[in-house]
């Protein structure tokens, strides 16, 4: 048997999980690509400047102008692109420093820039520092080089010293600003101090500024490369100009570093179309302070705060800071985990980012892109649909669990170990923790419509005690143990057990007992409440 010729650490290599899987999701869920709203990829919601005639950019014209150049190899110097990138950066620099094309390394997307830099800096076994959680491609490209990853929490960056950096002995410290996926934006002053610490310890500060134009360009530290060989800046045109399919990014470094990286990068890594499109976009009047990017930042800030406000109203959703075109949402208080939630949203035509691939987050977080108001409102409404579907499936699962427990001769009954017990009254039967009739929409049992935090009305069972009365539970379990379809049995039980109680015809006066429980709870309410 022949051995695998690949390096050992590559043979079982796992790639990085990304958003933007529109085609794959359409195939998986039987949807057309036009039906899908992508909240998993962080792009400019204002759309590309090519969609705004007022900026004088014509993609088809650029494509036509680039066509004759396809008969020749590209000019591997990429002078127009590099000059445009330097000018674009200079438009946001408030110091006297001016960058030139000698500082620029063109890339076929920002991921190629990460790969190139890691290839040129790292040897087998070299250490790199990755504060978590952050963009997964840093880890992936470092592992390709067989580097050792030293993880530190994001909060540690504020206090790390030059001595600690020296002790760790890392070749690179990766910082994303604003950070993906947390959206935390670090101040320029703090990053300047960090750059000095890195220079002193001879650790390269790799600054990923892919989202800086959509957040606050004043926090950029790209000008520091002029006299510092231990800082490297990465920029992306994908995010700010909404052109992920064109694949454009660039690195910014000290001329000596940039010259070596340009010599080492893949030859002809940009097509003529890529160079011309990238240059045209960066030559937009005003650069990073163009009317287009100013409007983009205004729209993003407005819509990010709208989304954050709406998500905060939803129980168990805790959105993070709103600084750029995405929000990290903590869902750890919800029963449903991120993987299932992402799946349910996708089935409803909306893609959100599962954060399970971000080191340190697990299944307790999702990331939401910031889009236009109509799209954001549709996303908020879809949350209600998703959780209604989940509630019905959860109710069915709970019912099956109760039946299995009963068949095995085990009793759930009070469930004193439940953090919500007693959610209704002392001595209740909790076999049906989640009501199998939800939502019955019959107010005679004590349930009612209440105002939902997501907007609109939602059915609440908070004042309905019927499924927790021991005699009712016993009768229901007897019926459910009979042969037949569960749906048919539940309909029969509703008609024969629940409905008579609602209509005050029950021989055991269960309804009267419910009223007494309600009166007692109004005098001495349980410490914790729960909606079935």
pLDDT in 10s for each residue of the chain, 532 residues: 578 898 888 888 888 888 888 998 988 888 889 889 999 999 999 999 999 999 999 999 999 999 999 999 999 999 999 999 999 999 999 999 999 999 999 999 999 999 999 999 999 999 999 999 999 999 999 999 999 999 999 999 999 999 999 999 999 999 999 999 999 999 999 999 999 999 999 999 999 999 999 999 999 999 999 999 999 999 999 999 999 999 999 999 999 999 999 999 999 999 999 999 999 999 999 999 999 999 999 999 999 999 999 999 888 899 999 999 999 999 998 888 999 999 999 999 999 999 999 999 999 999 999 999 999 999 999 998 898 888 777 766 667 666 666 666 555 555 566 666 667 777 777 777 777 787 888 888 778 888 765 555 777 877 787 888 877 877 777 777 777 777 788 888 888 888 888 776 665 566 677 667 767 767 776 554 443 3
Characterize the bridge pairing of strands 350-351 and 37-38: parallel
Same domain, 283 and 325: no
Same domain, 341 and 383: yes
Taking residue 410's Cβ as centre, other Cβ atoms within 10 Å add up to 9
The Cα–Cα gap between 214 and 370 comes to 11
User: How would you list the strands of the sheet with 172-176, edge to edge?
Assistant: 104-107, 249-252, 231-236, 204-208, 172-176, 127-132, 148-153
Same domain, 271 and 297: no
The Cα–Cα gap between 106 and 97 comes to 21
In 371-525, which ranges are E strands? 448-451, 457-460
- Looking at 289, 315, 344, which one is the last position of a domain? 289
Burial class (CB in 10 A: 0-12, 13-18, 19+), 232: buried
Characterize the bridge pairing of strands 104-107 and 249-252: antiparallel
Same domain, 37 and 77: no
Domain harbouring 320, CATH code: 3.90.1150.10
Same domain, 38 and 70: no
Residue 348 lies inside a defined structural domain of this protein: yes
The Cα–Cα gap between 327 and 304 comes to 7
Residue 456 lies inside a defined structural domain of this protein: yes
Same domain, 266 and 294: no
Residue carrying structure tokens 């950066």: 89
Residue 88 lies inside a defined structural domain of this protein: yes
For 36, residues 6+ apart whose C-beta sits below 8 A from its C-beta are: 22, 25, 26, 349, 350, 351
Burial class (CB in 10 A: 0-12, 13-18, 19+), 250: buried
Domain harbouring 239, CATH code: 3.40.640.10
Using the Cα atoms of residue 172, residue 193, residue 85 and residue 258 in order, give the sign of their dihedral: negative
Same domain, 117 and 83: yes
Same domain, 228 and 108: yes
In 1-45, which ranges are E strands? 37-38
* pTM, full prediction: 0.81
Residue 249 lies inside a defined structural domain of this protein: yes
Residue 529 lies inside a defined structural domain of this protein: no
Write down the pLDDT at residue 505: 61
In 259-346, which ranges are E strands? 318-319, 326-330
Residue 68 contacts residue 264 (beta carbons within 8 Å): no
Write down the pLDDT at residue 532: 35
How many structural domains is the chain composed of? 3
Same domain, 120 and 228: yes
Q: Which long-range contacts (CB under 8 A, 24 or more apart) does 520-523 make?
A: 520/425, 521/424, 521/425
Taking residue 295's Cβ as centre, other Cβ atoms within 10 Å add up to 13
- Looking at 267, 289, 311, which one is the last position of a domain? 289
Same domain, 26 and 117: no
Residue 358's domain spans which residues? Answer: 14-42+290-410
Write down the pLDDT at residue 124: 95
Number of continuous H segments (helices) and E segments (strands) in the chain: 18, 15
Write down the pLDDT at residue 432: 74
* CA terminus-to-terminus distance, the chain: 60
Same domain, 185 and 251: yes
The Cα–Cα gap between 156 and 195 comes to 15
Residue 274 lies inside a defined structural domain of this protein: yes
Residue 312 lies inside a defined structural domain of this protein: yes
């Amino acid at each position: 048997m022949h051995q695998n010729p690949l390096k050992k650490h590559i043979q079982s290599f796992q790639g990085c999980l990304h958003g933007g899987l529109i085609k794959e999701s359409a195939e998986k869920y039987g949807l057309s690509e036009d039906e899908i709203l992508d909240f998993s990829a962080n792009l400019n919601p204002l759309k590309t400047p090519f969609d705004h005639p007022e900026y004088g950019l014509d993609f088809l014209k650029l494509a036509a102008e680039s066509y004759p150049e396809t008969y020749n190899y590209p000019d591997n110097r990429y002078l127009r692109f590099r000059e445009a990138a330097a000018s674009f950066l200079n438009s946001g620099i408030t110091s006297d420093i001016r960058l030139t094309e000698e500082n620029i390394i063109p890339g076929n997307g920002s991921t190629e820039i990460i790969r190139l830099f890691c290839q040129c800096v790292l040897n087998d076994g070299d250490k790199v520092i990755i504060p978590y959680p952050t963009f997964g491609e840093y880890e992936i490209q470092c592992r390709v080089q067989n580097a050792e990853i030293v993880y530190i929490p994001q909060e540690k960056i504020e206090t790390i010293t030059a001595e600690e950096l020296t002790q760790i002995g890392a070749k690179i410290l990766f910082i994303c600003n604003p950070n993906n996926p947390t959206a935390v934006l670090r101040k320029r002053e703090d990053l300047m101090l960090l750059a000095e610490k890195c220079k002193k310890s001879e650790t390269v500060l790799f600054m990923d500024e892919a989202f800086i134009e959509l957040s606050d360009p004043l926090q950029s530290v790209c000008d520091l490369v002029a006299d510092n060989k231990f800082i490297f800046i990465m920029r992306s045109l994908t995010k700010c100009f909404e052109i992920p399919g064109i694949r454009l990014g660039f690195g910014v470094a000290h001329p000596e570093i940039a010259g070596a990286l340009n010599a080492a990068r893949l030859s002809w890594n940009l097509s003529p179309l890529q160079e011309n499109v990238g240059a045209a976009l960066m030559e937009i009047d005003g650069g990073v302070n163009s009317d287009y990017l100013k409007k983009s930042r205004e729209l993003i800030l407005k819509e990010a705060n709208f989304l954050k406000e709406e998500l905060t109203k939803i129980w168990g959703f805790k959105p993070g800071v709103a600084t750029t075109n995405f929000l990290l949402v903590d869902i750890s208080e919800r029963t449903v985990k991120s993987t299932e939630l992402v799946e349910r949203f996708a089935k409803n035509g909306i893609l959100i980012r599962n954060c399970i691939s971000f080191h340190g987050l697990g299944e307790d977080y999702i990331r939401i892109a910031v889009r236009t108001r109509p799209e954001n409102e549709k996303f908020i409404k879809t949350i209600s649909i998703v959780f209604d579907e989940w509630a019905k499936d959860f109710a069915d699962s709970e019912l099956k669990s109760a039946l299995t427990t009963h068949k095995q001769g085990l009793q759930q009954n009070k469930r004193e170990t439940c953090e919500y017990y007693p959610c209704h009254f002392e001595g209740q039967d909790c076999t049906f923790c989640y009501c199998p009739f939800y939502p019955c929409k019959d107010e005679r049992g004590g349930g009612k419509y209440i105002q939902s935090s997501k907007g609109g009305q939602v059915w609440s069972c908070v004042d309905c005690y019927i499924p927790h009365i021991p005699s009712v539970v016993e009768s229901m379990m007897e019926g459910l143990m009979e042969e037949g379809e569960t749906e048919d049995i539940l309909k029969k039980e509703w008609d024969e057990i629940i409905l008579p109680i609602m209509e005050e015809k029950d021989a055991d006066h269960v309804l009267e007992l419910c009223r007494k429980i309600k009166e007692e709870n109004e005098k001495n309410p349980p410490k914790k409440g729960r909606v079935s």
